[in-house]
Structure 1
Amino acid sequence: MGIIVQKFGGTSVGSIKNIKNIAKQLKLFYKKKQKLIVVVSAMSGETNRLLILAKKLYNEQQVNNIYNNRELDILISTGEQITMSLLSMALNMLGVKSKSYTGAQLSIFTDSVYTKARIQHIDTSIINKDINNNILVIVAGFQGIDKYGNITTLGRGGSDTTATALASAIKADECQIYTDVSGVYTTDPRLCNKSSLISYITVEEMLELSSLGSKVLQTRSVEFAVKTNIPLRVLSIFDNNPGTLIIKKRSILENIIEKQVISGITYNCKEAKTTVFVTDVVPGACYKFLKKLKEYNIESNIQNKKKIQKKFVITFTISKDYYKTTKMYNILQEYVCNNLGGKLSCDNKIVIISIVGVGINSHKYIAKKILSNLEKTGIILILVSTSEIKLSIIINENYTALAVKVLHTAFNLDINSIKEEI
């Protein structure tokens, strides 16, 4: 029998009762001689609680500095350690031989970028030894250790990445991510009650959904699945649904794709639209501004660049968090004024809505359909950006729910429409 990696997080480990229920479920696998590696997140709300404690030590001017802090990673890594030890205790009480490990104990090696570390190598010798001795291994997700012996963390949702990385390193048959929802939906069920569960989705589509605002999986966990061809399944601990299977090859989906071009719609309310106006006498203005953003570790996404008379207009979207700190916005504004001879403006009342589907760029009617359906409701498009498998639009954030519902219906993603087609 092969190896399965299972990851539990969110409210599924949010209480002692839930942890006991997970232990009972794992015991059933254990009795069947199934080889298991279990990765856990912190209990619901625990990481935020630890971050609040850290922020109380810093004043408003210094608060962003903690995210480059070695001590912060040591602090927030303890959340997962609490969960792993409690689950291992619960399993041992049920007669299941179990051992828990931190990322450092298991030799999950990362780079040295605090709070956003990337996994570089995993030593599987300990896991292999325990599995061969019929021991169920519990691993603290979200964390590792760098070459200097420092504890590092992988960023929000990092336990998903730990699970897929372990599945890859151990050559598991499947990696199963247990979440608060039954799988991947066509859109956020909280926003649209007609959203439906997706049975299969390609890794490319899932990668886009994750990077564009879907909170089901961390982007890097999907990247691991792409690189290593490990089957990745998203499902819930609270129901018996088979969840969503994320696959690499399109062959399984060919019949579905012919009928359903669009796989899902997601949205991101955490971005701000930034517009830089510069004269064309400044060579490399776009490059220089991007370089300045990189100096401050600000991730940006170029949405549009055009020339109006003798001026270049460069539009980006970057995290709203940078505008909560007035000092950072002033630094960027001063740089554009003094070094590029231009000016900077920001609109942080926008939302990016993305429509995702394999081969979306080859279906020219999609952009027209989006425009016509939104115009009927009085929603004005600010910007449009396309790629091979996604089309993103920027609109005023006040119309988020309305736009998602309108587009969900327009592309026949409502649960009744999908049932009729199937």
Structure 2
Amino acid sequence: MPLVVQKFGGTSIASAARMREVADHVKHCRSRGDEIVLVISAMGSETDELITLATQISEEPAGREMDMLITAGERKAIALMCMALHDVGVLADSFTGSQAGFVTDTNHRNAKILSVTPKRVTESLEAGRVAVVAGAQGVSTDNNVTFLGRGGSDTTAVALAHGLGADACELYTDVSGVFTTDPRVCPSARKLARLGFDELLEMTAMGCPKPAARSVEVARTYGVPLHVRSAFTWEPGTWVVDTESGMDAREMEKPIVTGIVPDTSQAKVTLVGVRDEPGIAAKVFRTLADAAVNVDMIVQNVGDHDRTDISFTVPAESADEVRAICEGMVDTVGFASANTDAGIARVSLVGAGMASHPGVAATMFETLAAQNINIEMISTSPIRISCVVAEADVDRATVALHTAFGLD
């Protein structure tokens, strides 16, 4: 019997009616011979509501207690899901993250999985039951409840699929798969039938919201086939597979560009008048790293009179914090000022075919120039080119590039 791990996000189980629909789907899957393990997120926007409640009670709630609070949403959801399954004649057992064998590090609010030993989940399957596991949680090495952070249920599902030796991991969400770009920005966007782990990793790193980047990384590391699909239409979605395994052998030639990814979640920080000497950049970025700031694109201009400018992008919500940190380094590191610009966005081309096709960058820059869109920063990888542009221009850039590379 095929063993499939199915993950359902908050919108997929936001109401009692939605839970009953999921239960009916699980019953159908079992009737065709599949063994099913469910990974469940908190219902709807419950996680956000719990966080808001906590901040109303405490300005700086302790990480340990926040994890205890946030993970309550998933515990509630798994119990209700088991009730829905029982009502359609499917026997099921609910498990918290710790009961399912997830051991994490001791970081609260964003714990990392250290190991998965799903003994109780296996026993439930052997008894002919459906195991329903709470997503995004585990128990730390010092025996505290931990939360895996945003998108943690995706990571839970993939890690559990690997631990169980599952045939596939299905990530059910409110979209029908991975698209060539954001359909809300570009109506001519197309759903991709399949793509490789490396491509999806680049897309999620550059701003594609689903699935969570951490889950794709785990899937790629352990070779877990992913199926991203809709919990509302139940139609086939996008398969994400190891492109070196031969699973995509039907594609004799990869398309040059797989997708266009717009991202408005970034801000630009510029350090003006930095001393142009060895070790200065190291001091700046070590200080930011020690403050857990996630720096993305970095550009250093050519030095002039022993001074240079360094620009880099950070998550927009961190911009004020980063500027304060940088201003605190003005005297010790030696630069004139730190400026921030929240009115920027990033647009990225992603595609495995780019590695063997010259002229992709030229076409991208020509397309943006034809739209009179100025490029502020550029970064590349073997299968990605990203440009920082004005936020007001990013939607127009996305549509134009989507057409220019034949993705409409």
Q: TM-score, normalised by structure 2?
A: 0.95
Aligned to 2:142: 148
Q: Pick the aligned partner of 1:288 from 283, 304, 309.
A: 283
Establish whether residue 232 from structure 1 lines up as the match of residue 193 from structure 2. Answer: no
1:220/1:281 CA distance change after superposition, 3 Å: closer
Establish whether residue 106 from structure 1 lines up as the match of residue 100 from structure 2. Answer: yes
Aligned to 2:167: 173
Between 276-285 and 104-113, the greater mean CA deviation after superposition: 276-285
1:58/1:378 CA distance change after superposition, 3 Å: farther
Aligned to 1:30: 30
The whole-number CA distance in structure 1 between the counterparts of 2:163 and 2:343 is 43
RMSD: 1.7
* Deviation of the 1:110 alpha carbon: 0.5
Per-residue CA deviations over 1:99-132 (Å, capped at 9, x if unaligned) read 1111022221011111111111111211111111
Establish whether residue 363 from structure 1 lines up as the match of residue 357 from structure 2. Answer: yes
Aligned to 1:316: 312
Per-residue CA deviations over 1:328-367 (Å, capped at 9, x if unaligned) read 5323212134432442121111001111000424433111
Aligned to 1:139: 133
Instruction: Determine helix, strand or coil for the equivalent of 2:302.
Output: strand
* Structure 2 residue ranges without an equivalent (≥5): none
Per-residue CA deviations over 1:216-275 (Å, capped at 9, x if unaligned) read 111111111111111111011222421100010254546647362100111221111111
Asked whether the equivalents of residues 43 and 79 of structure 1 are also in contact (C-alpha less than 8 Å), the reply is yes
Within 5 Å, give how 1:2-151 maps onto structure 2.
2-59=2-59, 62=60, 66=61, 69-151=63-145
Aligned to 2:153: 159
Asked whether the equivalents of residues 12 and 174 of structure 2 are also in contact (C-alpha less than 8 Å), the reply is yes
Asked whether the equivalents of residues 203 and 246 of structure 1 are also in contact (C-alpha less than 8 Å), the reply is yes
Asked whether the equivalents of residues 382 and 395 of structure 1 are also in contact (C-alpha less than 8 Å), the reply is yes
Q: Pick the aligned partner of 2:216 from 218, 222, 241.
A: 222
Aligned to 2:294: 299
Within 5 Å, give how 1:345-364 maps onto structure 2.
345-364=339-358
Between the two proteins, the alignment pairs up a number of residues equal to 406
Q: Aligned letter for 1:312?
A: T
Per-residue CA deviations over 1:260-315 (Å, capped at 9, x if unaligned) read 21001112211111112344465311110111101211111242123231223222
Establish whether residue 268 from structure 1 lines up as the match of residue 263 from structure 2. Answer: yes
Establish whether residue 391 from structure 1 lines up as the match of residue 391 from structure 2. Answer: no
Asked whether the equivalents of residues 10 and 180 of structure 1 are also in contact (C-alpha less than 8 Å), the reply is no
Between 154-163 and 280-289, the greater mean CA deviation after superposition: 280-289
The whole-number CA distance in structure 2 between the counterparts of 1:276 and 1:324 is 14
1:195/1:126 CA distance change after superposition, 3 Å: same
Tell me the percent identity: 33
Asked whether the equivalents of residues 271 and 351 of structure 1 are also in contact (C-alpha less than 8 Å), the reply is yes
Aligned to 1:277: 272
Asked whether the equivalents of residues 361 and 387 of structure 1 are also in contact (C-alpha less than 8 Å), the reply is no
Between 72-81 and 302-311, the greater mean CA deviation after superposition: 302-311
Between 342-351 and 274-283, the greater mean CA deviation after superposition: 274-283
The whole-number CA distance in structure 1 between the counterparts of 2:89 and 2:281 is 62
Asked whether the equivalents of residues 8 and 172 of structure 2 are also in contact (C-alpha less than 8 Å), the reply is yes
Asked whether the equivalents of residues 254 and 353 of structure 2 are also in contact (C-alpha less than 8 Å), the reply is no
Q: Aligned letter for 2:299?
A: N
1:252/1:104 CA distance change after superposition, 3 Å: closer
Aligned to 2:324: 330
Aligned to 1:419: none
Between 374-383 and 28-37, the greater mean CA deviation after superposition: 28-37
* Deviation of the 1:413 alpha carbon: 0.6
* Structure 1 residue ranges without an equivalent (≥5): 415-422
* Deviation of the 1:148 alpha carbon: 1.3
1:20/1:324 CA distance change after superposition, 3 Å: farther
The whole-number CA distance in structure 1 between the counterparts of 2:342 and 2:90 is 52
Q: TM-score, normalised by structure 1?
A: 0.92
The whole-number CA distance in structure 2 between the counterparts of 1:108 and 1:384 is 40
